[in-house]
Amino acid sequence: MPAERVSEITLKYNLPIPGAFRPRALTGEPIGGPQGRPPRTARLVALAHKLEELMRSGAVQSYGELARLGHVSPARLSQIMILAQLAPVIQDFVLFLSDHEDGVITELELRKIAREPLWSRQCALFDKHLNRFGKSGK
């Protein structure tokens, strides 16, 4: 049975955000409760996953249709979707940044990292970026 076509999509998501910045390893560690509004980069990574799920579920038939429904250009949609290709540890780090940590890394910098196909190299690039600005992912 073919999937129904969607003429409008409404996305709602909540992201838990930890408190003050503290250097943490890119492996896992307990995370605190939400604090303030999530940084723009975190919202975009979450959006990329939501849009990817819409495609995977068949709710939309093509990325072109998804772009039209979201009122963005196909090029902008591609920029957002590449964020879902980041290594999971980088995504976790970005998703749990606090509101005052916005700017630790920009969307453009994340997209450059996401273009690297190997997650180990992505992590190395990410650590290099954090170290250059006096932050530490480890």
pLDDT (tens digit per residue) in 45-58? 999 999 999 999 99
Using alpha carbons, select from 44, 129, 56, 48 the residue that is nearest to residue 85: 48
Residue 47 is encoded by which pair of tokens? 């959006």
Predicted confidence (pLDDT) at residue 75 exceeds the cutoff of 90: yes
Amino acid at 83: L
pLDDT (tens digit per residue) in 77-124? 999 999 999 999 999 999 988 877 778 889 999 999 999 999 999 999
DSSP class of 110: H
User: Could you tell me which residue, 118 or 37, shows the higher pLDDT?
Assistant: 118
Geometric angle at alpha carbon 39, from 138 and 105, rounded to 5°: 45
DSSP class of 124: H
Q: How far apart are CA 55 and CA 97, in angstroms?
A: 27
Q: How far apart are CA 19 and CA 60, in angstroms?
A: 37
Residue 17 is encoded by which pair of tokens? 């955000």
Q: Which residue has the tokens 């896992």?
A: 28
Please indicate, yes or no, whether the overall pTM of this predicted structure exceeds 0.85.
no
Predicted confidence (pLDDT) at residue 20 exceeds the cutoff of 50: no
What is the domain partition of the chain in residue ranges?
40-132
Query: What is 40-132's CATH number?
Result: 1.10.10
